Amino acid sequence: MLSNSDVVAARERIRSGVARTTCPQSFALEARAGRFHLKTEFRQRTGSFKDRGSLHKLLRLGPTAREGGVVAASAGNHAQALAYHASRLGIGCTIVMPTHAPLIKVAHTRGYGARVIQTGETLSDGMALVDRLAREEGFTPVHAFDDLDVMAGQGTIGLEILEQVPDLTTVIVPVGGGGMISGIATVVKAQRPNVRVIGVEAAASPGARESLTAGKPVHLENSDTLADGIAVKRIGDLTFPHLATLVDDIVLIDEEQITRAIFFLLESEKFVVEGGGAVSVAAVLEEKVEFGPSDVTVCILSGGNIDMNLVSRVIDRALWADGRLARLAVVVRDRPGYLNEVTALVAIEGANVLHVEHTRAFGDISVGRVGIELTIETRGPDHIATIVAKLRELGHRVEELS
């Protein structure tokens, strides 16, 4: 088992090579019970907390291992961190990434100087190739989470949190393979045993929770998830006992909840955070954890390496869900001026027309009528209801489309 002293020693080794990330108070969450802070690990050099564990492992290698180079399987964040720090230290690095890893993570990993091999669907699928490369080419494997040196490096987050938020009562940590929460829980429980340590997993990849229920690490086939950085098929043999003895609870977050959390952080905190990094805030927004008025909570935002195309889709989906985007199907008489009447009313009511499509070919529209489909930007559900009511007052048939 990892010890508090292991993590303290790790901090001294990596101090000059990683950022001491900020932990500001979240005023956007202040309507909920207690006080909340956000640990901004996405501000690390390569965009995630993985800088800490990767650097610590590399610094612990002997001369022969450094000369031979390292190899790892990673969905992206461990890959980038290991590639960057290996390059900085003059150590050769090969990374095995899933076929569908986010493009930004693949590009950055190559940009940091690593050789990238893409194969399989998940992190676990690449491990067989890592083992073969280690045997055939003499590389030293660096596991993304199931390694005591890596876990000690990640645990330095906990040391910083205890210093930055001395009245801490709860820390909420994203969980994939369990390396980060194991390191953090080790120092938090050693120094402040009454502080709650809560883990958060994607419901599509609940390996830690299922393993705790089974009493041992179990292999699960996971589903696609926005939280790709924490989607693993099996938690670590070394991380499991830390979760079993030190973590107070593991909660699950579904895909819509992850989407809402990413959007919340964008809109309210001005933070760009990936799905796996946002699940800690999702647990708060979705009331998965109970808080009292005296609770002081830190949510760890573990990474920010999200594809900008995905950000665009997240924003659109969140706006639809919030009622700030809507699609209306309006049936009007096929006469000059009726399209203008509809769009003018929308404008008068203070909404913005983003897209208009108009057709006579719908089977449920009678001859002499025309269908108009509008995508509009509104202030919310009440605003949409007002516009629909006004259009109906003009005698038009109106339906809000999902």
Residues catalogued as catalytic: 50, 302
Residue found under tokens 């990434």: 97
- H/E element, 84: helix 77-89
Contact between 181 and 276 (Cβ < 8 Å): no
Q: Which of 41, 113, 116, 40 is nearest to 73 (CA)?
A: 116
Residue found under tokens 């390496």: 305
Strand order in the sheet with 397-401: 352-359, 369-377, 325-333, 397-401
CA–CA gap between residue 323 and residue 337 (Å, rounded): 28
Report the SS3 class of residue 292: coil
Q: Rounded to 5 degrees, what are φ and ψ at 261?
A: -70, -40
Q: Which of 213, 210, 282, 211 is nearest to 253 (CA)?
A: 282
Contact between 116 and 123 (Cβ < 8 Å): no
